[in-house]
Structure formats: structure tokens, C-alpha cells
């Protein structure tokens, strides 16, 4: 309207002037209105969730600003505290990474730096293990998840348990093979407690819960000071959403390149958990690096999707390329005769396609 009024005034001035009888100048073309921003429409996610065989679940989707979409099905709410099983690995990894960025630990630290009974003898492979290998599950301590040994035994101390693991010896040389199991993180947990003088429970409270407002994230008190760091944590979808938001926002992970590094690029894969054994995903710092290709490629390594599915169906992930995170929250052992972890990961993969299409 402003441009049109200005044009009209110019026509009037020209016609009233004493100039020649030339033609009037053309009116300027009005500028098009700016495009109207639209919020992503994730309603198809609810349709996919309703079609799932899981009767009770919650789904959250968000980005670096927080939650963008929330859906609850059946008897499950986003603030329910549930056992998250191996989704604990991503959270424990974030705690250890925070200790690295604060200078309390280093990626290249060996256990003997902090643990009195650990050998530093050259030629003993146990002296070569690094914190990076422990969080990448390539340390050489390869007991499977179904045989945790002393881990989760609340009648002994964390130190006693790690010493038992240490005395049992290596199964493979450090850095040679990936084995999905609980011993790696138990050793890393003792390194963290010795380096800081605080228990893992106290570190979670100080480094994660208090700064981010988490209210449901902890290892159960019944576990004593020797919980299964890789799989015994309890949390809620709401709490984990705050963690994932902080990661994308750069509040919890400053060195994103180092954090996302592939710790399994040159190793042999000895074992993957049931449900993921057919997928050629690699492993990072307490999380899987997903890949949709038949074999892991460089395309899967840059700006990856990382995830940490749990046996009870709690699956968090972050898509660094598209800048969003998601959570499928389930708490069950089996669903319609199938492992809950498989049901959850399949739903996660379908939801990813919906989100990707909407964001693009």
C-alpha cells in the first residue's frame, strides 16, 4: 500500500508539472509477502505408533530447543521412571565424556593411572587399554551381557568387582575386536570414581541431573555401589529428552568431532546384541553409529545418527545431519512373542523415515 500511494503521488506531480506531455512512469511491482513459517507435522508418527504391536509406549521428538512433538499410547507417560537397560550406555558415556571435557579424565588414560592394583608392565596387554577403548567396547574384556559375573552384585564393592575382572585376564588384545558386554564400562566407572573421589551416583547428580533438571535418572539404590553401569539405569523419556537436547545444543558435548569418532573402524566385530546382529552399525563412545547401507561406509560416518537401544524397548537417538533427536520409550521384555528391543528399533526406523520426509 505504501508503494502504491507513493506511485500515485508521483503520477499526480508529473501530470501537474509544466513539463512536456510525455507518458507517466510505470507503477513499481509490489514485493511478494514473506513466506509463512510452518511447524513440522509429525501426525503420521502417531499413526505408526498406533499400528505398533506395543500396547504401551511414548514417543518424543525434538531439537536443540527442546521437545517438538510428544505422543503417549496406552498406559505409558513421558515422565514415567522405567528401566532403560542398554540405553544406559549412552548416558554413562555422556557422563564420562563430560569428565574428559572438564579435564578429570583423558581419552588416552590407562586404568593403572587411577587403579592401584592395575599393571603398567610392558608386554601385559592390560596395561595398554585406554579409556577410549573401554567406551568403544574394544578393551579385550569380552564377557557377554548374559554372563556379567560380579557386575550388579550388591554384596561387593565396585573395586572388588573390577579386580575380579582384571584377574580373569583379557580375551583379546586391546583394540583388536569389538565385543558388546558389561565389563568395559565397569572398569571405566572405577577409573572415574578414583579420578574424582566421587561415586558414579554422585557424579550423575552433579554433572547431569542438577545442571539439566533431571529428576528420574539414577541407578537403583538396591544395586549398592556396584551397579551395572552399562544396563541398570532407570530414567524417563522426559529426562532423556533433556540430555539429547543438551547434546544437540552443544551444552553437554563441546568436542563433537571427538565424541562422534568411530571407535570400531579397524577392529573385528566379535558380537552384537540380538536384533542388531544383522546390521552393520559401528560403535562410538557408548552408542551405536547407525548405517542404512548393507555395509558401513564413510557416508554413515559424517554427521551420523547415533542410538542406544535397550533390551526393554527404550531407544533414544540423535540425527546430527538433520538436527533432531527422538525417543521410543517402551518397558517390556517381550511384545507379541518378540523381544521388545526389536519392536522398538523397527518402530524407530519407521519413525525416522517420517521425520526425515517432514523435515526435508
DSSP category for residue 13: H
Residue 319 CB partners (closer than 8 Å, separation 6+)? 305, 325, 326, 352, 355, 356
C-alpha distances out from residue 33 to 2, 5, 27, 36, 349, Å: 14, 18, 18, 9, 38
**pLDDT score for 302:** 80
- Alpha carbon distance 203, 181 (integer Å): 23
Range of the domain at 12: 1-33
Reported as a single tens digit per residue, the pLDDT across 85-126 is 999 999 999 999 999 999 999 999 999 999 999 999 999 999
What confidence tier does 301 reach under pLDDT thresholds 50, 70, 90?
confident
Task: Tell me which residue has cell 509490489.
Answer: 30
CA angle 247, 93, 264 (to 5 degrees): 105
The residue ranking higher by pLDDT, 40 or 196, is: 196
C-alpha distances out from residue 18 to 15, 119, 206, Å: 8, 102, 82
The DSSP annotation for 189-231 comes to: HHHHHHHHSS-HHHHHIIIIIHHHT-SS-B--GGGTT---TTT
How many angstroms from the chain centroid is the CA of residue 325?
A: 8
The arithmetic mean of pLDDT across residues 133-147, rounded, is: 95
**DSSP H stretches of helix in the chain:** 2-16, 43-51, 88-101, 131-135, 158-168, 183-196, 200-204, 210-212, 237-249, 256-259, 298-301, 340-359
In terms of domains, do 133 and 279 share one? yes
**pLDDT score for 297:** 87
Residue 35 predicted with pLDDT over 70? no
**Nearest residue to 41 via CA among 64, 66, 75, 71:** 71
Residue 62 domain-assigned (yes or no): yes
How many angstroms from the chain centroid is the CA of residue 331?
A: 18
- Alpha carbon distance 65, 58 (integer Å): 20
**What is the CATH classification number for the domain harbouring 127?**
3.40.710.10
Please tell me the total count of domains within the chain.
2
In terms of domains, do 17 and 59 share one? no
Residue 22 predicted with pLDDT over 60? no
In terms of domains, do 324 and 191 share one? yes
**pLDDT score for 4:** 35
In terms of domains, do 18 and 54 share one? no
In terms of domains, do 22 and 168 share one? no
Residue 38 domain-assigned (yes or no): no
Reported as a single tens digit per residue, the pLDDT across 215-234 is 999 999 999 999 999 999 99
Is the entire prediction scored with pTM above 0.85? yes
**pLDDT score for 36:** 54
Amino acid at each position: 500500500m505504501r508503494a502504491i500511494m507513493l506511485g500515485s503521488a508521483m503520477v499526480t506531480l508529473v501530470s501537474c508539472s509544466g513539463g512536456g506531455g510525455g507518458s507517466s512512469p510505470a507503477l513499481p511491482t509490489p514485493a511478494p509477502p514473506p513466506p509463512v513459517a510452518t511447524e513440522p507435522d509429525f501426525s503420521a508418527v502417531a499413526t505408526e505408533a498406533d499400528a505398533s504391536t506395543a500396547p504401551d509406549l511414548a514417543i518424543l521428538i525434538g531439537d536443540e530447543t527442546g521437545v517438538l512433538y510428544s505422543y503417549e499410547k496406552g498406559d505409558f507417560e513421558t515422565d514415567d521412571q522405567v528401566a532403560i537397560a542398554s540405553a544406559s550406555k549412552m548416558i554413562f558415556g555422556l557422563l564420562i565424556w563430560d569428565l574428559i571435557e572438564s579435564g578429570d579424565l583423558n581419552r588416552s588414560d590407562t586404568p593403572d593411572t587411577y587403579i592401584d592394583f592395575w599393571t603398567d608392565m610392558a608386554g601385559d596387554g592390560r596395561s595398554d587399554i585406554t579409556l577410549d577403548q573401554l567406551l568403544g567396547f574394544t578393551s579385550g574384556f569380552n564377557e557377554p551381557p548374559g554372563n556379567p559375573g560380579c557386575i550388579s552384585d550388591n554384596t561387593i564393592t565396585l573395586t572388588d568387582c573390577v579386580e575380579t575382572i582384571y584377574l580373569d585376564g583379557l580375551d583379546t588384545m586391546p583394540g583388536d575386536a569389538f565385543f558388546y558386554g558389561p565389563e568395559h564400562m565397569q572398569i571405566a566407572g572405577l577409573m572415574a570414581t578414583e579420578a574424582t573421589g566421587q561415586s558414579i551416583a554422585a557424579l550423575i547428580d552433579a554433572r547431569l541431573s542438577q545442571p539439566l533438571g533431571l529428576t528420574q535418572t539414577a541407578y537403583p539404590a538396591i544395586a549398592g555401589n556396584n551397579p551395572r553401569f552399562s544396563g541398570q539405569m532407570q530414567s524417563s523419556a522426559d529426562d532423556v529428552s533433556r540430555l539429547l537436547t543438551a547434546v544437540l545444543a552443544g551444552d553437554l558435548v563441546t568436542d563433537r568431532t571427538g565424541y562422534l569418532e568411530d571407535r570400531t573402524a579397524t577392529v573385528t566385530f566379535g558380537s552384537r546384541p540380538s536384533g542388531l546382529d544383522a546390521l552393520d552399525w559401528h560403535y562410538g563412545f557408548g552408542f551405536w553409529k547407525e548405517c542404512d547401507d548393507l555395509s558401513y561406509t564413510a557416508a554413515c560416518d559424517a554427521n551420523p545418527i547415533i542410538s542406544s537401544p535397550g533390551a526393554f524397548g527404550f531407544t533414544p537417538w540423535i540425527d546430527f545431519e538433520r538436527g533432531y533427536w527422538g525417543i521410543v520409550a517402551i518397558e517390556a521384555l517381550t511384545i507379541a512373542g518378540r523381544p521388545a528391543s526389536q519392536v522398538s528399533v523397527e518402530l524407530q526406523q519407521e519413525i525416522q523415515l517420517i521425520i526425515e520426509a517432514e523435515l526435508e
